[in-house]
Structure 1
């Protein structure tokens, strides 16, 4: 056992360059506001996930575990040792006490996932392992450990289970519409949770360029010499601003069935967060602790989520989002004009300090302060 409490296995568990560690860090420190608001609300439901963990026998989780154990390679000191070191390093940096098991499964499609109710399991495909270099893979492993720390594996499985149950009653009138609304909302949360995990990957790797390269490779394959990070980010800006209202509608339709945001959007979002004050404060050691999670306010989290969506809409260059912003601004102006119109029907308020210069009665138009006649008597 080393001085810092980590077990030594004959291999170096820390990367070649110094990285900052985050003792006791709460996942709220890196979660996207929309993701965080949902998680804080679910965590407040005492026993919610415990009940579903007890019912895990009804879900295919046990079957998946047996499948990975029998037909995949479990990462350890003796198998994929470099991935094992990355896993230990990621758990050390994010202070995750229980190291989740990790498997490598044969699949040419580059992918990674964190699943499980009873305990999270991380799965990497051979396509991903062969695609990424060491620093890019470190960010991916940190991404999956971030999912585990946030509890995404539990709550995702729970909500997917609820969605499956809802599909069985879709024959009820309007039931299908309700199910589709639930699935759409669930996928929106999934996409935001991926942005959260990207941030966790950056906290573990602490190399923004490596995170960018990994996302580029997911989009364009192992042709790094043919790609450029800055040009890749320019694609995200062009995607956001380009086209007309028809393109805006097509963007929405394209993203609705996806569980992950598009790669260029993920890269742009991660770069924006890396340059934010929140990230800098986190790197300086100012972040919420896990011990404070029970005191997290659901209301504050939802307000932060609403503010985040409002900021996204207001700052977007997308034609539809600009139209929404303009309509909202126009509605505000209309409300102001209506209010001013009603002000015109109000009775004027009496002056507080009596008549002002030019506002009082003129000579001969009203009673005077002095006597009317020189003798002090009423004139005839």
Structure 2
């Protein structure tokens, strides 16, 4: 069956309302561990929102208010209906503003710190069916609910603070390591948002079609879902160590996983039973967020890396496993690294907070500082 046949055959679905759901329900363990640790810097996120959002965020919103279409029941009513449905399913109590902007690229983004809003390209409206568009809107709502934009900004502040050490002989190397770790976290945040999109639409086929369209354009009449997943398997396990090194080069400095890897991860999450358990009501609630344990989340992140290492078919990973107890080593490394990251964040928080309080002279209009919180790159952010 081709993807187009699958689309035509899809019946209307009755979605389960996930009342009181916490963003921890869809967050990838590595993403959740980092977020839980960052949330321990109590008050720091408020400083970031106040001092980095008061100028740039308003400028961004005004630029879209002036040159895009704000979605409501009168403008793009189809999009608004799907947006409210996705928000209702994820139990989003306050809808962020939604804009549609003219662009031929399939892309969307969540922007803002104090009052985030979502921007959707016209290509998404034109090329995505209802189920796919609902999944995409759920993806962006997942970013907003997880606070990814806020914490990405915090990490960028800390990265700039760490750049002050670059004059040291090892400073540049250390800085690159920090940036690489930040990118690894952001790739996991994208996997989290993909899961939120799936929960919003509750149509696995549509979520996979969305990733296929990101990879190959909007026309799926000659594309097959099974063949796309075969691509994902070949990307994961094909070739030899040289291919593994190429994959490391491709992804190390990217904020988004490649589409086939995102499809494979989403499929694995479904097959693990986690998706079904959430639909059955087995998920963490928002009212328990304050009691989340950093140490437990770090352990879960380490276990996630250990499991991924153990089941990976990548040639380089296979070689490492043959050389020794790599799965154990990688789990210990991940857990230790997460603990060190939390310690470093705690020590850096006060210094970065002082940096955030320094007055800024606005320049360059609303585009100034955009990368501090915009996740608009490499597909839906």
TM normalised by structure 2 equals 0.79
Deviation at 1:330, TM superposition (A): 8.4
Give the structure 1 partner of residue 105 of structure 2. Answer: 109
Structure with the larger RCO, 1 or 2 (CA within 8 Å, 6+ apart): 2
Greater share of residues in helix: 2
Give the structure 2 partner of residue 245 of structure 1. Answer: 241
Q: How many residue pairs align between the two structures?
A: 318
Residue 146 of structure 1, aligned match among 121, 142, 147 = 142
Query: Aligned in 2, Cα 1:171/1:57: closer, same or farther, shift over 3 Å?
Result: farther
Structure 2: state its 5+ residue gaps: 1-10, 329-381
Structure 1: state its 5+ residue gaps: 1-14, 333-380
Q: What SS class does the counterpart of residue 122 from structure 1 fall into?
A: strand
Give the structure 1 partner of residue 58 of structure 2. Answer: 62
Which residues in structure 2 correspond to 1:295-314 (within 5 Å)? 295-314=291-310
- Asked whether 1:214 is paired with 2:214, we answer no
Can you list the C-alpha shifts for 1:4-33, whole angstroms capped at 9, x where unaligned? xxxxxxxxxxx9531101111011111100
Structure 2 CA distance for aligned equivalents of residues 196 and 330 of structure 1: 26
Give the structure 2 partner of residue 262 of structure 1. Answer: 258
Give the structure 2 partner of residue 51 of structure 1. Answer: 47
Structure 1 CA distance for aligned equivalents of residues 56 and 172 of structure 2: 24
Give the structure 1 partner of residue 321 of structure 2. Answer: 325
Structure 1 CA distance for aligned equivalents of residues 315 and 13 of structure 2: 44
- Asked whether 1:99 is paired with 2:95, we answer yes
Structure 1 CA distance for aligned equivalents of residues 327 and 126 of structure 2: 54
Query: Aligned in 2, Cα 1:238/1:117: closer, same or farther, shift over 3 Å?
Result: same
Which residues in structure 2 correspond to 1:11-50 (within 5 Å)? 16-50=12-46
Q: Note if contact 1:116-1:157 (Cα within 8 Å) is conserved in structure 2.
A: no
Give the structure 2 partner of residue 79 of structure 1. Answer: 75
Structure 2 CA distance for aligned equivalents of residues 330 and 72 of structure 1: 51
The CA RMSD measured in Å over matched residues stands at 1.9
Q: Note if contact 1:112-1:144 (Cα within 8 Å) is conserved in structure 2.
A: yes
Q: What SS class does the counterpart of residue 324 from structure 2 fall into?
A: helix
Structure 1 CA distance for aligned equivalents of residues 169 and 63 of structure 2: 39
Query: Aligned in 2, Cα 1:127/1:305: closer, same or farther, shift over 3 Å?
Result: same
